[in-house]
Amino acid sequence: MGKDKAMLPFGGKPLWQIQLELLGKLEPVEIFVSARTDPAWRLRDVHFVADDSPSRGPLSGLAAALPRMHTKHLLALAIDMPFMTEKYLRFLCSQIEPGRGVLPKIDDRAEPLAAIYPQEAAAEIGAALSGADFSLQTLTNCLVAAGKLQVMPVTSQERKLFLNLNESADLRSIESHNAL
């Protein structure tokens, strides 16, 4: 996008505010923001977790956050999914089991940045980070095969929750669609 996606306005608020307010409704023990550098918009009660250099994107964020958390599971939520809801995230949380998280899937594509990872996934995440394949699709397939993630098929009605804003054109497309 050429700029920090977190600062993009959506519905009158920046994306970071939308996601932090959403996560706050779940009353988590703690909230982490993972990035290369500490964002200026980060609130005081939100913990910054630096991606280890060189950053491998979201994989680095997962690897950095898992050892810092004080719970058994980590809910990962992308900053650019403004349609995600408290109801859906609560549903995902209700599906976790000891040692096993939840991975939404749309058809054959995992949604690894709206998923819940167990502490027990740390070894596989660390191995992926030290390897040559930094794909979260590859990682989540491995975690599913190891029984550490349960696949949760996304219904056709739920698909809109996973729309994300990767490019300025995505934002314009959504805004023009909402204007109709």
Point out the least confidently predicted range of 16-20, 55-59, 153-157: 55-59
Per-residue pLDDT tens over the stretch 66-83: 999 999 999 999 999 999
- Contacts of 83-90 with CB under 8 Å at 24 or more apart are 83/160, 83/161, 83/162, 83/163, 84/19, 84/22, 84/114, 84/161, 84/162, 85/22, 85/161, 86/22, 86/25, 86/26, 88/158, 88/161, 89/22, 89/26, 89/114, 90/26
Domain ranges, residue 101:
5-179
β partners of residue 151: 103
Bridge-based pairing of strands 73-77 and 47-50 is unpaired
Per-residue pLDDT tens over the stretch 124-176: 999 999 888 899 999 999 999 999 999 999 999 999 999 988 666 666 666 55
**Residue 180: what pLDDT?**
42
Task: Output DSSP code: residue 155.
Answer: P
- What pTM did the predictor assign? 0.89
Residue 179 above 80 pLDDT? Answer: no
Which CATH number goes with the domain that contains 28?
A: 3.90.550.10
SS3 letters for 73-102? EEEEECCCCCCCCHHHHHHHHHCCECCEEE
Per-residue pLDDT tens over the stretch 74-110: 999 999 999 999 999 999 999 999 999 999 999 999 9
pLDDT band at 52 (very low <50, low <70, confident <90, very high): confident
Number of compact structural domains in the chain: 1
**Residue 1: what pLDDT?**
45
**Residue 9: what pLDDT?**
87
Point out the least confidently predicted range of 12-21, 112-121, 144-153, 163-172: 163-172
Q: What is the rounded distance in angstroms from the CA atom of residue 50 to the CA atom of residue 37?
A: 6
